[in-house]
Chain A
């Protein structure tokens, strides 16, 4: 435990009283690489209207061992994919012979971008996710094939863009031209789907901290995406995660990249406004 900020006392407590702490959010502090202080608990946004007493990052619902993996970039397996994306960033593709770097310089120039997406795009007249925006670049500026939604190359690039915003608070806009999409996302969030008749809210609003089978339910915030999951040893996108959740309700799911999931991504992101960007985070 040498260099870790979690205290020995906290670890001992967790060992001696597993029944009390199992499943619920803990009180550990998240600092990445010893210098990026993360806000992992925040005041709920006004639009939540009391639905959550406190907005808590999914990091708090994981075991100490899983939490530690996120505290150092060397230990975080998600950073392998960020490194791969860094290479892709500098690689020219498509008919124009351009790379991301030709327009955007260093990936660090994207700091802050992750915090405001999904975001209204005036020209296109729609709310766009980071992946939609990346594909716009690929098709229209680079003359390259667009990436399939949540394909590993796209997720890795999203992780790179996210990684340079770590520590900055999520701050997506819910009003103005984005409001209609946001309302649609909210409706999806509270709609019960599938044979099990579960809405997002059934688990992530009413039962966070409790177990769902052998796993702990978090509040389902998206600040940690793309997420490295120990269960599949790769980065996972938000829409794929949504799809997995909807599938588990035994419903026909929406597709990654569909307007429904874009709307849901915006709404869910707005629930976590105030939490630090963590992507690529580590979860189980």
Chain B
């Protein structure tokens, strides 16, 4: 089980309807590739975040399949158009079955 995993998200508090806003996300995670060996020559088992999704009011914004070559503490920056006030929901899926979630509300004004 990965330790010290902590999701972080940066979303503006408010936006104008129809505006594209920039969203930044980062999750601290070792992203162990499964290719490395420890000092005794044993393979260190793979442990990565394998999927990341962002939804806005239930509608998918991005859905990313992630692979072992992605480096530690994966960071995603993307834009989203905000048609109305609502809530962004971010979800990270870990190889070990853990699911990390974060939500951010945004106002339209």
Contacts and interface: CB of A to CB of B under 8 A. Distances in A.
Contacts of A77: 26, 73, 75
The size bracket of the interface on A is: under 10
A233 B10 contact: no
B92 to A, nearest CB: 15
Interface residues of B, number: 12
Contact of A74 (B6, B10, B71): B10
A140 interface: no
A74 B73 contact: no
Nearest to B8: A74
Contacts of A84: 4, 28
Interface in A62-101: 74-75, 77, 80, 83-84
B72 interface: yes
A83 B27 CA distance: 12
Contact of B28 (A2, A74, A80): A80
B73 A233 contact: yes
A84 B28 CA distance: 10
**Binding site of A, secondary structure by majority: helix, strand, loop or mixed?**
loop
Interface string B1-21: 000101010100000000000
Nearest to B27: A80
B26 A74 contact: yes
B36 interface: no
B46 interface: no
Contacts of B8: 74
B72 A74 contact: no
Contacts of B22: 2
A66 to B, nearest CB: 14
Nearest to A2: B22
Nearest to B10: A74
B24 interface: yes
A117 B36 CA distance: 38
B24 A74 contact: yes
Interface in A232-261: 233
Contacts of B6: 80, 83
Contacts of A80: 6, 26, 28, 73
Nearest to A83: B6
Nearest to B4: A84
Contacts of B24: 74-75
B32 to A, nearest CB: 13
Contacts of A233: 71-73
A77 to B, nearest CB: 6
Interface in A20-71: none
Contacts of A75: 24
Contacts of A74: 8, 10, 24, 26
Nearest to A233: B72
A83 B5 CA distance: 12
B17 to A, nearest CB: 20
Nearest to A80: B28
Nearest to B22: A2
A83 B28 CA distance: 11
A74 B11 CA distance: 11
18 contacts: A2-B22, A74-B8, A74-B10, A74-B24, A74-B26, A75-B24, A77-B26, A77-B73, A77-B75, A80-B6, A80-B26, A80-B28, A80-B73, A83-B6, A84-B4, A233-B71, A233-B72, A233-B73
Given A83-B28, A233-B71, 9 more contacts: A74-B8, A74-B10, A74-B26, A77-B26, A80-B6, A80-B26, A80-B28, A84-B4, A233-B72
